[in-house]
Amino acid sequence: MLDQRALVNLLHQEADLAIGCTEPVMVAMAAARARQVLGVLPEQVEVVVSPAVWKNGRRVGLPGTRERGLDMAAAMGLLAPLEEGQRLLAFLEPGQITQAKKLVLEGAVKARVLLNKEGLYTGVWARAGNNEVRVEMQDNHKNFSGVWKNGKLIDKPGEQFNLSLKALLKQDYPSLLAAVLTLPGQEIDFLYQGARGIVIFAREVAEGIKVPGSSLSRFFRRAGAKTGAPAEQIRTLTGIAVAERMSGAVYPVLTSAGSGNQGILIAVPLFLVGEALETKRELLSRALAVAHYTNMYLRAYSGKLSPLCGAVTAGAGVAAAVSWLLGGSRQQMINAAQILLGNLCCVLCDGAKENCSLKISTAAVEAVQAGQMAHLGINPEAGAGIIGKSLEDTLGLIKTVLQIGMDEVDYYLGKIDYLNLG
Q: Which of 23, 11, 8, 62 is nearest to 261 (CA)?
A: 23
What is the bridge-based pairing of β-strands 144-149 and 131-138? antiparallel
pLDDT in tens, the chain (422 residues): 889 999 999 999 999 999 999 999 999 999 999 999 999 999 999 999 998 899 889 889 999 998 999 999 999 999 999 999 999 999 999 999 999 999 999 999 999 999 888 889 999 999 999 999 999 999 889 999 999 999 999 977 654 456 788 899 999 999 999 999 999 999 999 999 999 999 999 999 999 999 999 999 988 987 555 556 789 999 999 999 999 999 999 999 999 999 999 999 999 999 999 999 999 999 999 999 999 999 999 999 888 878 889 999 999 999 999 999 999 999 999 999 999 999 998 888 888 999 999 999 999 999 999 999 999 999 988 888 889 999 999 988 888 887 777 767 666 666 555 555 44
Containing structural domain, residue 30: 19-155
How many Å from the N-terminal Cα to the C-terminal Cα in the chain?
Answer: 44
Compute and round to an integer the Cα radius of gyration of the chain: 21
Within-domain flag for 9: no
Alpha carbon distance 305, 151 (integer Å): 29
- The pLDDT score that the predictor gives to residue 224 is 54
Same domain for 169 and 142: no
- The pLDDT score that the predictor gives to residue 420 is 53
Same domain for 369 and 342: yes
Same domain for 388 and 269: yes
Indicate the burial class of 304 (C-beta count within 10 angstroms; 0-12, 13-18, 19 or more): buried
pLDDT digits (tens, 9 = 90+) for 247-304: 999 999 999 999 999 999 999 999 999 999 999 999 999 999 999 999 999 999 888 8
> Model's pTM, two decimal places?
0.94
Same domain for 194 and 136: no
Same domain for 384 and 315: yes
- The pLDDT score that the predictor gives to residue 350 is 86
Within-domain flag for 96: yes
Report the length, in residues, of the chain.
422
Same domain for 186 and 105: no
Same domain for 406 and 361: yes
- The pLDDT score that the predictor gives to residue 227 is 56
Same domain for 237 and 112: no
Same domain for 171 and 150: no
- The pLDDT score that the predictor gives to residue 381 is 87
Q: How many domains does the chain have?
A: 2
Q: What is the CATH number of the domain that holds 39?
A: 3.30.1330
Q: Pick from 155, 180, 205: which residue ends a domain? A: 155
Q: Which of 124, 125, 149, 144 is nearest to 37 (CA)?
A: 149
Indicate the burial class of 85 (C-beta count within 10 angstroms; 0-12, 13-18, 19 or more): middle
* Residue 209 phi, psi dihedral angles, 5° rounding: -70, -40
pLDDT digits (tens, 9 = 90+) for 26-54: 999 999 999 999 999 999 999 999 988 99
What is the bridge-based pairing of β-strands 44-49 and 109-113? parallel
Q: Pick from 155, 182, 200: which residue ends a domain? A: 155
Same domain for 351 and 390: yes
Within-domain flag for 7: no
Same domain for 227 and 186: yes
CB 248 within 8 A of CB 65: yes
**With helix as H, strand as E and coil as C, how does 219-264 read?**
HHHHHCCCCCCHHHHHHHHHHHHHHHHHHCCCCCEECECCEHHHHH
Q: What is the CATH number of the domain that holds 375?
A: 1.10.4100
Within-domain flag for 2: no
Q: Pick from 155, 183, 209: which residue ends a domain? A: 155
Within-domain flag for 1: no
Same domain for 224 and 75: no
